[in-house]
Amino acid sequence: MSIKKVVLLVIFLSLIALFFVLNLQQIFNLEYFQAQRDVILAYKTENFWLSSLIYFLLYIIVAALSLPAAAILTIAGGAVFGLDWGLLMVSFASTIGATLAFLLSRTLLRDWVQTKFGRYLKPINDGIERDGAFYLFTLRLIPVFPFFLVNALMALTPISTLSFYVVSQLGMLFGTALYVNVGAELGMATSLPDIFNIGVIRAVVVLAIFPWLAKLLLRILRNRKVLAPWKKYKPRHFNTNMVVIGAGSAGLVTAYIAALVKARVTLIEKHQMGGDCLNTGCVPSKALIRSAGVNHLIKRASEFGLEDASARVNFSAVMKRIREVIKTIEPHDSVARYSELGVDCVQGEATITSPWTVQVGEQQISTRNIVIATGARPWVPPIPGLEKMDYLTSDSIWSLHTLPDRLLVMGGGPIGCELAQAFSRLGSKVTIVNRSDRILPREDVDVSEFISERFIAEGIEVITSREVEGFMQSDGNRFAITSGADGELHIPFDQVLVAVGRKANTEHLGLETLDVVLNANGTVKVNEYLQTNYPNIFACGDVAGPYQFTHMASFQAWFAAVNSLFGVFKKFRIHYSAVPWATFIDPEVARVGLNELEAEEKGIKVEVTRYGIDDLDRAIADSEAVGYVKVLTVPGKDKILGATIVGYHASELINEFILAMTHGLGLKKIMASIHIYPTLSESGKFAAGEWRKNNAPRWIMPYLEKFHRWRRG
């Protein structure tokens, strides 16, 4: 730091320290002003211009130093100088002071502000990037953050000083006028009854409801701005209250909620009701995993004292069972069921032609609200030669009639790992190739290593830190060409499964025509209410993200449905404080909230408690004594920040921690709950017990020992 900056910083800090050391804050309160009002008014009458200059400069200093006195000074300005002159002085003095604070922060305090208030920066930076100076205007008009914090944080953004000044002057004007008016009304009061006159009460009430009125006004202005080009397309009457595009988990739940509250809703699906989850995702994959798990269990029969147990895999019968499972569940998501609920089900491809109209074939549907719930599909990277390999994805693998002898799985995420283990247990020779240095890269390193060792023990070849760069055929054999630190490697296979990610279904919906904003990863960009940049167009589920899980799609659907139908009265912010998921391999991996990897990335200090499931009675009795429970808590406290379970039925066991995190229950509450013996769920209680043991006040133990010795006589 330069000498000039050091000097400025010393002066700045000295002035602030002087304010508190001299206890000057005692004069910046209404009691002091009321006691000295007559003296101040008399001085103002005799020395109008000098008193105005003193007040003006004092206000600039207070605002520039971010001292806790601006509100009182504003009210006092109205009381002493009246509404007109007081507003003129306060408006310019507050803006000049705010700009000086802005410049001071930009020059001197950048690093300190980053450290102290860094967590506030993201929403402000996102707002500046999204709406530019208009976002600063909204912050000034609606005090979401204290003004001193806005001054400091805006200094860290690219906004120019001139823009900051002009926008601040305009944005603070109305709120300043309200405060000055309150002071002016109070200044005219000469007795206690005068304080409660209609003018004062009106001024205070307007001041109290101003943030809500300003927020409503800004919402109306923003909505009008985005809808203005389409105004001529808005129909006078609507066919329906809501159009939902996509009948997967998100769309079905959205339509169900709308029908439940007696709204008229139209559900459009171009392919199959139930979406990916029912037809190509959760349901068929779990049915496959079950068949594979039974075959694996039969191979372990000797562990349970069973002899001569054997089975032969009939892959066609396995696939037939999967289709039967889908058929059994299908009525839950059928057109018949939803039509009975009152939903208008339409088959066809939907195109959004305006913010209020959706075209399906020759039919045009007018609607108050639109909910995009079109889901996602497997992403297939453009790798040379892949198109000639008859590659499989998690959508198309269910069309297989013959079990592949050698299956190559591209991708070591949850989908790739689940299908790799299932096919391996059914008899395929499986190889996983992952570009990351480990499989399940979103989980902690110990989780990835644990699962990798398990896969290798079962005969699955796990190859990491390798990029698939192409495919080739030679002498009737297929090879994947991969590169890594040790050079090129050709991996032979018969079938290849591409499981490297999913892509949101946003094409052919008309989003480009409306300029609906997308995220960098292709998902529809939504706010905390699941609105797109159009106030009446919402998106939920995989097409919006950020979590592409069926249960999260259903969770988001409630917010999309309620906010679209009732948002004119009340909107609900979606929260992701306790997001759970599970990978259905064996042993299962389930998680909610933070893990150690994320905590480290975010700079959050945590205390880690582990309990080994190999010590659990029920797990031992079931010969499933592998895995562990890992809980992250606030250091020294039992508040749960996250939990990871690796083990038998981990996807069921994690629910106790989901409930606890959702409702703010700590490990002490879990430990104090009765758990049936012998069950796997005791693992949660024992993990809580480990935390209690690690956090017991050890200093008191010697005294307790002496106390009990004394009690024995």
Residues 200-243: tens digit of each pLDDT = 455 555 555 555 566 666 677 777 888 888 988 899 999 999 99
Distance of CA 462 to the CA centre of its chain: 32
For residue 371, the surrounding DSSP H or E stretch is: strand 363-372
| Cα–Cα distance measured from residue 99 to residue 328, given in angstroms and rounded to the nearest whole number | 67
Please report whether residue 452 resides in a domain. Answer: yes
The domain in which residue 433 lies consists of 386-501
User: Does 551 share its domain with 516?
Assistant: yes
Please report whether residue 329 resides in a domain. Answer: no
Question: For residue 669, what pLDDT band results from cuts at 50, 70 and 90?
Answer: very high
User: Does 263 share its domain with 203?
Assistant: no
User: Does 556 share its domain with 658?
Assistant: no
> What is the average pLDDT across 143-160?
68
Please report whether residue 318 resides in a domain. Answer: no
Q: Taking phi first (over 0 means left), then psi (-120 to 50 degrees means alpha), and beta for anything else, what does residue 8 get?
A: alpha
Predicted confidence (pLDDT) at residue 581 exceeds the cutoff of 70: yes
Question: For residue 192, what pLDDT band results from cuts at 50, 70 and 90?
Answer: very low
Closest CA to 63 of 16, 126, 107: 16
User: What's the full length of the chain, in residues?
Assistant: 713
Of 95-99, 451-455, 642-646, where does mean pLDDT reach its minimum?
95-99
Over the stretch 344-390, which tens digit does the pLDDT of each residue have? 999 999 999 999 999 999 999 999 999 999 999 999 999 999 999 99
User: Does 646 share its domain with 610?
Assistant: yes
Over the stretch 584-639, which tens digit does the pLDDT of each residue have? 999 999 999 999 999 999 999 999 999 999 999 999 999 999 999 999 999 999 99
**Residue ending a domain, choose from 467, 501, 535:** 501
User: Does 589 share its domain with 627?
Assistant: yes
| Cα–Cα distance measured from residue 566 to residue 207, given in angstroms and rounded to the nearest whole number | 27
This prediction's pTM: 0.76
SS3 per-residue string spanning 594-645: CCHHHHHHHCCCCEEEEEEHHHCHHHHHCCCCCCEEEEEECCCCCCEEEEEE
Give me the residue label for tokens 């054999």: 477
pLDDT at position 151, please?
A: 73
Q: Would you report the helix, strand and coil content of the chain in percent, each value rounded to 5?
A: 55, 15, 30
Please report whether residue 617 resides in a domain. Answer: yes
pLDDT at position 120, please?
A: 57
**Residue ending a domain, choose from 192, 224, 256:** 224
> What is the average pLDDT across 97-124?
68
Predicted confidence (pLDDT) at residue 74 exceeds the cutoff of 60: yes
Q: Exposure of 81 by Cβ count < 10 A (0-12 exposed, 13-18 middle, 19+ buried)?
A: buried
pLDDT at position 126, please?
A: 62
DSSP codes of every residue in 662-704: HTT--HHHHHHS---SS-TTHHHHHHHHHHHHHTS-GGGHHHH
Q: Which residues lie below 8 Å from residue 202, measured CB to CB, with a gap of 6+? A: none
Question: For residue 523, what pLDDT band results from cuts at 50, 70 and 90?
Answer: very high
> What is the average pLDDT across 242-252?
97
Over the stretch 120-140, which tens digit does the pLDDT of each residue have? 556 666 655 555 566 666 666
Over the stretch 378-396, which tens digit does the pLDDT of each residue have? 999 999 999 999 999 999 9
User: Does 364 share its domain with 511?
Assistant: yes
User: Does 348 share its domain with 462?
Assistant: no
**Cβ–Cβ < 8 Å for 500, 381:** yes
pLDDT at position 193, please?
A: 44
**Averaged pLDDT score across all residues of the chain:** 87
Predicted confidence (pLDDT) at residue 141 exceeds the cutoff of 70: no
| Cα–Cα distance measured from residue 575 to residue 169, given in angstroms and rounded to the nearest whole number | 34
**Cβ–Cβ < 8 Å for 248, 375:** yes
Predicted confidence (pLDDT) at residue 7 exceeds the cutoff of 50: yes
Q: Which residues lie below 8 Å from residue 288, measured CB to CB, with a gap of 6+? A: 318, 322, 419, 422
Closest CA to 271 of 502, 503, 540, 505: 505
pLDDT at position 98, please?
A: 86
Please report whether residue 294 resides in a domain. Answer: no
Query: Other CB atoms closer than 10 Å to residue 430's CB: what's the count?
Result: 26
Strand boundaries in 190-348, DSSP class E: 240-245, 265-269, 344-347
Give me the residue label for tokens 């998921």: 581
Closest CA to 271 of 353, 335, 365: 335
**Residue ending a domain, choose from 566, 593, 618:** 566
User: Does 30 share its domain with 173?
Assistant: yes
Long-range interactions of 207-211: CB distance < 8 A, separation 24+: 207/178, 207/179, 207/182, 210/174, 210/175, 210/178, 211/142, 211/143
User: Does 26 share its domain with 110?
Assistant: yes
Closest CA to 103 of 140, 132, 60, 142: 60
Query: How many domains does the chain contain in total?
Result: 4
| CATH number, position 659 | 3.30.390.30
User: Does 360 share its domain with 395?
Assistant: no
| CATH number, position 561 | 3.50.50.60
**Cβ–Cβ < 8 Å for 456, 438:** no
Q: How many H-runs (helices) and E-runs (strands) does the chain carry? A: 26, 21
Please report whether residue 303 resides in a domain. Answer: no
Question: For residue 160, what pLDDT band results from cuts at 50, 70 and 90?
Answer: confident
pLDDT at position 114, please?
A: 55
Over the stretch 417-428, which tens digit does the pLDDT of each residue have? 999 999 999 999
More confident residue, 470 or 121: 470
Question: For residue 473, what pLDDT band results from cuts at 50, 70 and 90?
Answer: very high
Half-sphere exposure of 580 (CA within 13 A, CB side): 22
Q: Taking phi first (over 0 means left), then psi (-120 to 50 degrees means alpha), and beta for anything else, what does residue 647 get?
A: left
> What is the average pLDDT across 285-310?
96
Please report whether residue 106 resides in a domain. Answer: yes
**Cβ–Cβ < 8 Å for 435, 409:** no
Give the amino acid at 640.
Answer: I
Q: Which residues lie below 8 Å from residue 524, measured CB to CB, with a gap of 6+? A: 372, 504, 506, 511, 516, 517, 518, 532, 539, 543, 544
User: Does 409 share its domain with 510?
Assistant: no
Token code pair at residue 174: 């109305």
More confident residue, 15 or 270: 270
User: Does 250 share its domain with 198?
Assistant: no
Please report whether residue 44 resides in a domain. Answer: yes
For residue 355, the surrounding DSSP H or E stretch is: none
pLDDT at position 61, please?
A: 84
